[in-house]
Amino acid sequence: MARKNSCLVDGALEEISALEYILLGDLLDLLHEADGDAGAWKWISKVLDTLLKAMPREFELQDEGGYLEEVLEEHPNWQGQVRNLYQERCELLKKLDELRARLQDSQPLQQMKQLAAELRDELRDWITSYIAHQRHERRILQDAFNNDIGAAD
């Protein structure tokens, strides 16, 4: 039963990750088109709403059994790194929610070019930070299982 549940979690995580990948790509495209285009900002808002629905579910699935628990089982002394990644993930979700709130509070955005430019830059920065966070998660997982301490040729 545990194996079946694990497969279901893995499948759901794959679906959410694929959706997230598409949404981040769409968001980057929309940010590129956003200058003076009210329609683009409307879609940006919808993409942010969808991300903010999908990401908590993704995190919940990742945390089933403990966040990066498999890393800590291999390397308990990496607890500080894992805790920092977990906190960073929480901060990224909070920041995205704050950006969405600012966007929604600032309608119609096309009339406020300065704020639109700031939001566009902050959303791009957020995407860069989130991608870096995901890479760090993958790297720590890979390192945990590829790190044969004491192995010699």
Q: List, in order, residues 6 or more apart from 112 with CB less than 8 Å away.
A: 106
Instruction: Indicate the pLDDT class of residue 6, thresholds 50, 70 and 90.
Output: low
The predicted pLDDT at position 1 comes to 46
At residue 151, does pLDDT exceed 60?
no
CA distance linking residue 28 with residue 127, whole number of Å: 8
Instruction: Indicate the pLDDT class of residue 107, thresholds 50, 70 and 90.
Output: low
Contact assessment for residue 43 and residue 57, using Cβ atoms and an 8 Å cutoff: no
At residue 123, does pLDDT exceed 60?
yes
Q: Which domains does the chain have, with CATH numbers?
A: 2-148 (1.20.120)
Contact assessment for residue 37 and residue 106, using Cβ atoms and an 8 Å cutoff: no
Among residues 122, 117, 82, 73, which one has the least CA distance to residue 100? 122
